[in-house]
Amino acid sequence: VSAVCVTGLTTVDTATYWSPFGQAVIAAGIVVGGLGVMTLASILAFAVSRHLGLTQRMLATQETGTGAMGQISTLLKAVIATSLTMQALLAMMFLPRFLAMGIDPVGAVWDAVFMAISVFNNAGFVILPEGLAPHVTDWWMLIPIILGTTVGAIGFPVIMDVAKNLRSPRRWRLHTKLTLATYLILAFVGALALALTEWHNPATLGSIDTPSKILNAMLAGVNSRSSGLSALDVGAMQSQTHFVQDILMMIGGGSASTAGGVKVTTFAVLVLAVIAEARGDRDIETFGRRIPTSTVRLAVAVSLLGLAMVAISVVLLLSMTDHSLDVILFETVSAFATVGLSTGVTPTLPVGAKYVLIALMFAGRTGSMTVAAALALRERSRVIRMPEEQPIIG
């Protein structure tokens, strides 16, 4: 479940516990989860029949976040091409580093491919025996992780829109502008927050040089969004750092991406709604476009359902374990948002608690998307409407 839901929460060491076959199965599960079950099903249907039926087109349209159902075949080709190309580029970036570490060529190639798959799909699995801790000052290792995580987390619709209109940013869709602007702002805020709270912590940033502190702060700005790959000891971080990461993990990455959470566009729409209400504006406007009320209602529904899943899971885990609220909340949000960051308690949790995390990972990966699609398709027109009356708010 952790592999298919591209989460990365594990109870055993991926590098030493599993055989090469087991690691290959995990990598395959990550690829399937990253592309999306419905998108992959549509790709397979297209490969077999050379065309897509109406049902497959509708499912793939919902999964990839595009309204152009007539162009879905072309879109799916672009999705698989983009995914393979980015993972190949990442593998080529990792390969020289693994060879320089003294790993045999065959093993280095496999390690590079596995890490590329894990990074681009924001899966959080690490195939290095000692994890990323020995590479806390290694720019050659961490920069590709930052770049791959960012590209995988902004979403396929954004990647294709930017590629199509690279020289004309004004022609970018509103979704692209909202996703990129919100993602970059949150990445900066996350990096700054970790730097401020952990700069002098000897167990994390305090023991390394200033350039490496900046490097790991940059990584923290993106790894909380979904990848869960950290060279620092998350369990040794300050409680305030954990809380900031809880917020960032809950927000997640872009829609129709390999990231989890309620998505950055959902968060952006809610913030814009608050700003419009504070200003007394009738419409919610941004980048020269007006956001419909139905989108705001959908954002509220997805956010509240996500918070409800996390709240229920936190209560269950607190009832099953003796851990404190901040630790349980961190693990729970990490599971729901398919991030994979952990304070280190996941392997020690009782069996029942692990099943709760399994269910939460599955719900986090499929739930918000399914709920959003279901609610969007359930819009109904009514001839008779009830009289309007405003309750007191606040």
pLDDT tens digits along 267-303: 999 999 999 989 988 888 888 888 888 888 888 888 9
pLDDT of amino acid 16:
87
Paired tokens of 96: 């020289």
Q: Does residue 3 lie within any of the structural domains?
A: no
**pLDDT for res 213:** 92
CA separation for the pair 249, 295 (Å, rounded): 22
pLDDT of residue 37: 62
Is 392 within the bounds of a domain? no
Each residue of 209-250: pLDDT tens digit? Answer: 999 999 999 998 888 877 888 888 888 899 899 999 999 999
- Structure confidence at residue 73 (pLDDT): 66
Which has the closest alpha carbon to 285: 269, 301, 261, 264? 269
Q: What percent of the chain has pLDDT over 70?
A: 85
CA dist., res. 276 & res. 290, Å (int): 11
pLDDT over 90 at 369, yes or no: no
Residue 1 lies in a domain: no
The answer, yes or no, to whether residue 77 has pLDDT greater than 70, is yes
pLDDT value of position 9: 86
318 found inside a domain: yes
Look at residue 386 and tell me if it is in a domain. no
For residue 5, tell me if it sits in a domain.
no
Residue 384 domain-assigned (yes or no): no
Report whether pLDDT(375) > 80.
no
Model pLDDT, residue 373: 59
- From 254, 226, 262, 247, select the one nearest 340 (Cα to Cα): 226
Domain assignment present for 388: no
Task: List, for residues 314-347, the tens digit of each pLDDT value.
Answer: 999 999 998 989 999 999 999 998 888 888 888 8
pLDDT band at 191 (very low <50, low <70, confident <90, very high): very high
**Owning domain of residue 45:** 14-377
pLDDT confidence bin for 5, thresholds 50/70/90: confident
Count up the domains in the chain and report the number: 1
Residue 266 CB contacts under 8 Å (≥ 6 apart), including other chains: 251, 255, 299, 302, 303
**What confidence score (pLDDT) does residue 81 get?**
83
pLDDT score of 145: 92
Listed in sequence order, the residues at least 6 apart from 168 whose beta carbon sits closer than 8 Å to its beta carbon are: none
**Whole-number average pLDDT of the chain:** 84
Cα(391)–Cα(394) distance, integer angstroms: 10
